[in-house]
Amino acid sequence: MMHLIRCIVVEALSGIKVVDISTLFAGPTAAMLLGDFGADVVKVEHPRRGDPSRGHGHAKDGVGLWWKVLSRNKRTVAIDLSSEDGQGVLRALLAEADVLVENFRPGTLERWNLAPESLLEANPRLVISRVTGFGQIGPMAGEPGFGTLAEAMSGFASMTGEPDGPPTLPPLALADGIAALACAYAIMVALRARENTGRGQVVDLAIIEPILTVLGPQITAFQALGVIPQRTGNRSSNNSPRNTYRSRDGRWLAVSTSAQSIAERVMHLVGRPELVDEPWFSSGRTRAEHAEELDAAVGGWIAERDAEEVIAAFSEAQAAIAPVYDVSDVVDDPQFRALGTVLEVPDEELGSVAMQNVMFRMSDTPGEVRWAGPRLGEHTDEVLAEAGLDAEQIAALRDKGVVG
Ligand SMILES: CC(C)(COP(=O)(O)OP(=O)(O)OC[C@H]1O[C@@H](n2cnc3c(N)ncnc32)[C@H](O)[C@@H]1OP(=O)(O)O)[C@@H](O)C(=O)NCCC(=O)NCCSC(=O)C(=O)O
């Protein structure tokens, strides 16, 4: 019997149907993370404009590459949600759905007669995840939001960069990515709650909040001690040596000594064991006050050796070091290769497309990238038929421009 069950349940989230009407990155990434583990994700796009992420970043042969990653494992349906007919089609899709992911500004779903209360009335088991910049309540609720604004408002940018330089934004959608992870987590929590209560619910996820979790104890330290984190470049206020250092052959290497044991091994390795006996060496925070001296010791030692020699010596000493990679190194790296991190996914439009694999390995119900982002409206007929519309109804909606 056990054997039979294991054969049938191959994917962790099979049987979970997700309707993703969100755009750009935070909401769609959350839906992608569910699709990676077997949820049936139906991505809804505007019939004429498509998702804006199709046009973001690099394109090959006119095909957006980010889209290929973001919409992997999803089926795509084009529905104009601003039309009454389109709203009816969405309601039909939601009748059998477990999860709705949306990221319109508060008020937009309501304006489209798709208020969460009415969706829950029709399907009380639905989990509705609302991703916004600032949340559903409060003075900024109605404002358009981007991850960039969250990186600014959370305190992240104020503590990032060189001490004498400007506040620094990351060159990627960092707060969106963090919000996406939180959103996927929130949905799993709500699905688990539904097992207890039998009811779905609304999740209010503001992009400005999950990044605070990553920022750690900054609020706690401020309230307790008045500490305001300052920009420290590559240094950390929590430990030292912690920096990037240049080897003799011109490569950059990153060292961290968050653990006391590692800090001690590093100083023995670089020939400065006496520093370990300094009273200030006994904690990361007090080591950080001596970053100048510690960086000079480690940086000087590394500068006299080639990177390969440095890495081998750190490994031998069981100290922590990593080369600073760019993506060309990532796709070539034996560790990532051993993990199967980089994947080639067959694709009708591009032949094949490389991307990062699912985020972690599971021994019994592993995730899988089954296909890359589909064409606009590729699965409209199939998905609407499953929702109970016949071919004539679909053709009529297509003629009106409601679906594509
Ligand atoms: C992304 C936004 C700033 C876009 O703001 P607005 O353009 O004012 O849109 P609204 O939310 O009010 O939604 C209405 C618009 O949705 C568009 N839209 C999208 N899909 C559809 C479909 N399927 N049907 C009809 N309309 C659609 C359409 O253009 C509507 O405009 P009309 O036709 O005029 O009605 C906002 O949605 C927002 O703050 N979202 C929450 C935070 C978020 O997820 N931000 C992006 C993260 S990515 C990021 O940070 C980054 O890229 O950087």
Query: What percent of the chain stands above pLDDT 90?
Result: 98
Distance 51 CA to ligand 1 centre (A): 9
Q: What span, in angstroms and rounded, lies between the C-alpha atoms of 30 and 45?
A: 16
CATH superfamily for domain 242-328: formyl-coa transferase, domain 3 (3.30.1540.10)
Q: Could you tell me if the CB of 295 is within 6 A of ligand 1?
A: no
Q: What is the mean pLDDT of residues 357-366?
A: 97
- Whether the per-residue pLDDT at 2 is higher than 80: the answer is no
pLDDT at position 260, please? 97
Q: Could you tell me if the CB of 171 is within 6 A of ligand 1?
A: no
Q: Of the residues 53, 89, 104, 181, which should be mutated to test ligand 1's pocket, given the most ligand atoms within 8 Å of the CB?
A: 104
pLDDT at position 8, please? 53
Q: Could you tell me if the CB of 105 is within 6 A of ligand 1?
A: yes
**If pLDDT is split at 50, 70 and 90, which confidence band does 203 have?**
very high
Q: Return the CATH fold of 17-214+340-400.
A: Rossmann fold (3.40.50)
The mean pLDDT value of the chain amounts to 97
Q: What is the mean pLDDT of residues 281-294?
A: 98
Q: What is the mean pLDDT of residues 267-277?
A: 98
Determine the angle formed by the axes of helices 174-197 and 26-35, rounding to 10 degrees. 50
Please give the angle made by the CA atoms of 177, 183 and 187, to the nearest 5 degrees: 150
CATH 3.40.50.10540 residue window(s) in the chain? 17-214+340-400
Q: Taking the C-alpha atoms of 63, 65, 67 and 70 in order, what is their torsion angle to the nearest 10 degrees?
A: 160
Distance 89 CA to ligand 1 centre (A): 19
The pLDDT tens digits of the residues spanning 218-236 come to 999 999 999 999 999 999 9
Distance 37 CA to ligand 1 centre (A): 27
**176, 277, 329, 364: the active-site residue:** 176
pLDDT at position 396, please? 98
Q: Taking the C-alpha atoms of 256, 175, 358 and 97 in order, what is their torsion angle to the nearest 10 degrees?
A: 150
ipTM attached to this prediction = 0.98
Distance 105 CA to ligand 1 centre (A): 7
pLDDT at position 373, please? 98
What global pTM score does this model have? 0.96
Q: Is 176 noted as a catalytic residue in this protein?
A: yes
The pLDDT tens digits of the residues spanning 27-48 come to 999 999 999 999 999 999 999 9
Please state the atom number of ligand 1 nearest to the C-alpha of residue 78: 23
pLDDT at position 143, please? 97
Q: Could you tell me if the CB of 146 is within 6 A of ligand 1?
A: yes
CATH 3.30.1540.10 residue window(s) in the chain? 242-328
Residue 225 burial by Cβ neighbours in a 10 Å radius (0-12, 13-18, 19+):
exposed
**If pLDDT is split at 50, 70 and 90, which confidence band does 120 have?**
very high
Cβ neighbors of 166 (< 8 A, separation 6 or more) are none
The pLDDT tens digits of the residues spanning 317-331 come to 999 999 999 999 999
Distance 393 CA to ligand 1 centre (A): 28
Please state the atom number of ligand 1 nearest to the C-alpha of residue 53: 52
Q: Could you tell me if the CB of 50 is within 6 A of ligand 1?
A: no
